[in-house]
């Protein structure tokens, strides 16, 4: 690990919700990057604490060159401030974004992300599959899991209908063909469930050991959208749970009842009238009825 990361102090009491009733704390919630994209990493943690989340997700690596992200890698002062926010609030970091498995994949490229995850005591890194050669993608996923093993995080492969891992069946096949490493995982995003060929039976077929968290939002369901439309919704115009027609109740009934929930609702237009803390609280309140049972 690099010197400025290996000497950082871990947060004390992280992963403990900051408020709310006992029933509200029964389900673990994480404030996803897309729900707090206006915030720096320490700001996101403080917003999460104010709104009643136990964790945050941070996008420390952009999903495309020049795309939006939160800046922390290579900035030791931001890491120190983020760790201080964790200690002050008890809010932990659940997942980091994002690693993309493409034809030129080199697991060492993300060394700084692994080190940041270890320093922040993150639990997972979100992984996307972009290589149309499934055999190579599978081999590279296995390599990634091996490289990440010393850092104590899972590599959670997210299926997205416009990628080389378009549905839950493909994600499960890749993970199983990779040998199902101990730190392997599959990430279920409600949006991609609703816009792919994935069925509730496909969700139930995912072994519990591969499920570490799931993401919630809403949208208009269906498989007739163009790639551009799907990406636009995913990155700019998700709906609050209950405002679309994805079968959220069916989905979260099919998933384990104790699975941590990442609340991932980005909607540029609706967010204009709310502060980051107000939006985070609104998203959490809309999510709870579908997952607390």
Predicted TM-score of the model (pTM): 0.90
What is the structure's pLDDT at 180?
Answer: 96
What sections of the chain are H helices per DSSP?
3-6, 41-51, 76-89, 111-120, 134-148, 168-177, 190-194, 200-204, 227-236, 248-254, 268-271, 276-291
Look at strands 29-31 and 261-263 and give their pairing: parallel
| 109-150 tens-digit pLDDT | 999 999 999 999 999 999 999 999 999 999 999 999 999 999
Burial of 162 (0-12, 13-18, 19+ CB in 10 A): middle
Positions in the chain whose pLDDT score sits under 70: 1-25
194-220 pLDDT, tens digit each: 999 999 999 999 999 999 999 999 999
Q: What is the CATH classification number for the domain harbouring 242?
A: 3.20.20.150
Residues spanned by the domain of 175: 3-291
Q: How many domains does the chain have?
A: 1
**pLDDT for residue 190:** 98
Residue of 94, 112, 115, 85 lying closest to 11 (CA atoms)? 85
């Amino acid at each position: 690990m690099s010197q400025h990361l290996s000497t950082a102090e871990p947060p004390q009491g992280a992963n403990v919700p900051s408020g709310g009733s006992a029933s509200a704390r029964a389900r673990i919630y994480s404030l996803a990057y897309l729900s707090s994209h206006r915030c720096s990493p320490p700001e996101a943690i403080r917003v999460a604490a104010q709104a009643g989340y136990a964790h945050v997700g941070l996008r420390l690596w952009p999903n495309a060159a020049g795309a939006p992200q939160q800046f922390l890698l290579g900035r030791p002062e931001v890491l120190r401030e983020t760790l201080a926010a964790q200690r002050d609030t008890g809010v932990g970091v659940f997942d980091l974004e994002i690693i993309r498995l493409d034809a030129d994949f080199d697991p060492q490229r993300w060394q700084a992300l692994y080190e940041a995850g270890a320093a922040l005591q993150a639990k997972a890194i979100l992984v996307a599959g972009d290589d149309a050669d499934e055999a190579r993608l599978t081999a590279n996923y296995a390599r990634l899991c091996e490289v990440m093993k010393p850092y104590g995080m899972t590599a959670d492969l997210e299926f997205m209908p416009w990628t080389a891992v378009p549905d839950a069946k493909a994600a499960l096949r890749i993970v199983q063909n990779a040998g199902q490493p101990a730190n392997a995982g599959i990430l279920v995003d409600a949006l991609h469930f609703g816009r792919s060929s994935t069925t509730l039976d496909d969700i139930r077929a995912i072994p519990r050991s591969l499920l570490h968290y799931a993401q919630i939002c809403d949208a208009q369901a269906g498989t007739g959208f163009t790639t551009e439309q799907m990406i636009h919704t995913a990155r700019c115009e998700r709906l609050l749970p209950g405002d679309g027609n994805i079968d959220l109740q069916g989905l979260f009934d099919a998933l384990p009842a104790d699975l941590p929930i990442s609340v991932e609702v980005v909607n540029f237009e609706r967010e204009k009238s709310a502060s980051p803390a107000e939006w985070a609280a609104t998203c959490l309140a809309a999510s709870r009825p579908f997952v607390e049972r």
